[in-house]
Structure 1
Amino acid sequence: MHISGVRTRGRSFSSRRLFIRISQYILVVCVALTINFTLPRLAPGDPLNYILGDEANSLNAEQRQQIYRELGLDRSVLQQYGDYLLGTLTFDLGDSIRFGRPVSEILVERLPWTVLMIGPAIILSALLGIVLGALAAWKRGKAGDASLLTGMIILESMPSFWIGMLLIAVFAVNLGWFPSFGAVPFTGTEGGLAYFVEVARRLVLPVTTITLATIGSNFLLTRASMLNTLGEDYVQMAEAKGLSERAVLFQHALRNALLPVYTNVTLSLGALVSGAVTVETVFAYPGVGRLLYESVLARDYPLLQGVFLLITIGVIAANVLADLTYPLLDPRARSGTRSEVS
């Protein structure tokens, strides 16, 4: 009877928690959409000066008003906000001022390049950071641990654009092993083995840059979590049973130490899209990050709003993914009954 009551309270807690989280996400989306609409309009400068260049100075008031009308900038802020919300719901984000094409079409073109760059970088950073962090914690206090810890702290303190410029100077300019910019070759037809090999070559330096820029946090978090886990009774029991170091480290200690690292990696998925701005700019890589940089320079309001919206969706989706999958990894997070049962 007592167990049944605990289960009922556990389900009730989970339902309340889910409702609260959904309400929070809805509120975050509303706030993000409002900020997304407001920020570009606070930027200094006139979009017409970028669109027409010096010709904008020769326009009379009537001509300027006509162009503003075509762009929808002559309407009140509230009307523009209403149009923006309606367009967001229908994924009609308007036309880019700079490119003269639908914003959604441009985002669909650029997003795969960013995913292609960030995906391998996240996987490499997570795997290397976790393995090296676990080994450093296992050999804590020794020369290998001190060397890794020092190196990772140095990497963590380096800005990503500086790492990228260093890699370009060494591997592109001096050694000539990899191209220094771009995502695809300027000549040749799309498709075919040679094309994909060239695309892969151009990915090496950007992926390495993001990997080196993010591996430090995964290493430090894994090492700290492992140091706490290695002192647990079940780890000492596994050692007392005579299990090999490898079995104790990877089958017992690391499994439980990975929970905070998993959360960190999951939440970084959305943040890396915006964090790729500097890397994509350094390598002239045609992803969403460079698109954001270009839209800021161009005062391209519709494109800026579209990129910000995409980044917001990425961050929120990463949080939702972490919320949904974390209880699968840690059964204690599935309900709030742990303290009641104990």
Structure 2
Amino acid sequence: MLRFTIFRILHAVPLLVAVILAIFLMQQAIPGDPVQAMVGDFPVPPAFREAIEKKYRLNDPLPVRIGTYFNNLLHGDLGFSYHAQRPVLDMVLERAPRTILLAAAGFAVAIPLGMLIGVLTGTTRRRSMDQAGTTVTLILYAVPTFWLGQLLVILFALKLGWFPTQGMGPLLSQATGLQWVLERLHYLALPVAAFAIHDGMRVARIMRASVIDTLGQGYIVTARAKGLRRSAIIWRHIVRNSSLPLVTIAGYAIGSALGGAVLLETVFTWPGLGLLLIESIRTSDNLMVMGVVIFSALAVVTMNFVVDVLYALIDPRIRHQR
């Protein structure tokens, strides 16, 4: 197991380096003047431009800038945001918990919802119910999360007035304790709903396919022959054995959550990494963009590594595969 773990780490590190290098090179190719973006629409004096370019080493040769950036990364330095006038790492660590909260709450709703729909459509004896459930699942999964979020805002926030339209909480609040928690949950409801509906349908599709495959296994036939009730067969045997493939999509789901959060957080003005990324792109804050992307890439690579290790623990045959 130790050998397998080391082997996966040796695969993950070059992948992460390649992603960072690719993003760095793409940013260099994007047109724009970071010095002008810093001062806005005002003219930039030559002396000021020269000082900024020297301070942030903007005129260094590309190989030198790449080497400097990776050397700083090894020391835990993501750079300094000239727009926010704060270290990039501080900004990322400040915003990351908010995005993680949104994603975790979304998964907490999406996984049970998707599993329930997948089991119902996979075990139903009515073909019409299965077809209807599959159709609805595909339609909801195909709807982009940002568009679904806008629909939820229009219906439940603007039309019905049940939920706030944006933000993580009121600007001025004196709530404490349980009241403070309920207040935040009120703001969290719509973005979590948009997140959970989309990802829940992904889980439902995978769960349904796994349930149908499990139904054809010999131990299910044996359980029926023993006279076990249908509900017992479903929950004790089918659900338990069909849930294993959900581990596989965990790494992809994390990446999808961080990627989808960019637009979803913009719709709801949720102050997380997604909104920070959009703001940094608008202001040409390249180091901040790199910081957010690196955090997202690290999260995805780490999650994929954890999934590989979990699968190796569950199925020992995987440890001997290369």
The answer to whether TM tops 0.5 is yes
Aligned-residue CA RMSD in angstroms?
A: 1.8
Percent of aligned positions that are identical: 32
The alignment status of 1:281 with 2:266, answered yes or no, reads yes
For residue 28 of structure 2, what is the amino acid of its counterpart?
A: R
The alignment status of 1:32 with 2:37, answered yes or no, reads no
CA 1:191 to 1:48, structure 2 compared with 1: closer, same or farther past 3 Å? farther
Using the TM superposition, give the Cα deviation of residue 334 of structure 1 relative to its aligned residue in structure 2, in angstroms. 4.8
Tell me the equivalent position of 1:3.
none
Q: Does the aligned pair in 1 maintain the 2:266–2:275 contact within 8 Å?
A: yes
**1:68-104 deviation per Cα after TM superposition (whole angstroms, max 9, x unaligned):** 1122213222222122112212221111122111111
Larger Rg: 1
Tell me the equivalent position of 1:5.
none
CA 1:19 to 1:115, structure 2 compared with 1: closer, same or farther past 3 Å? closer
For residue 189 of structure 2, what is the amino acid of its counterpart?
A: V
For residue 196 of structure 1, what is the amino acid of its counterpart?
A: V
Tell me the equivalent position of 1:148.
133
Helix, strand or coil at the partner of 2:67: helix
User: What pairs with 1:1-342 in structure 2 (closer than 5 Å)?
Assistant: 15=3, 17-55=4-42, 57=43, 59-189=44-174, 191-335=176-320
For residue 92 of structure 2, what is the amino acid of its counterpart?
A: L
TM-score of the superposed pair, with normalisation by structure 1: 0.88
Using the TM superposition, give the Cα deviation of residue 106 of structure 1 relative to its aligned residue in structure 2, in angstroms. 0.5
Using the TM superposition, give the Cα deviation of residue 108 of structure 1 relative to its aligned residue in structure 2, in angstroms. 1.1
Higher mean Cα deviation, 63-72 or 322-331? 322-331
Q: Does the aligned pair in 2 maintain the 1:259–1:330 contact within 8 Å?
A: no
CA 1:334 to 1:93, structure 2 compared with 1: closer, same or farther past 3 Å? closer
Helix, strand or coil at the partner of 1:130: helix
**1:184-238 deviation per Cα after TM superposition (whole angstroms, max 9, x unaligned):** 2100258543332221110000000001111111111111111111011111101
Aligned pairs, how many? 321
Alpha-carbon distance between aligned partners in 2 of 1:332 and 1:123, rounded to the nearest angstrom: 31
CA 1:38 to 1:191, structure 2 compared with 1: closer, same or farther past 3 Å? farther
Q: Does the aligned pair in 1 maintain the 2:250–2:307 contact within 8 Å?
A: no
Helix, strand or coil at the partner of 1:54: coil
Higher mean Cα deviation, 36-45 or 106-115? 36-45
TM-score of the superposed pair, with normalisation by structure 2: 0.94
Higher mean Cα deviation, 280-289 or 129-138? 129-138
Q: Does the aligned pair in 2 maintain the 1:164–1:279 contact within 8 Å?
A: yes
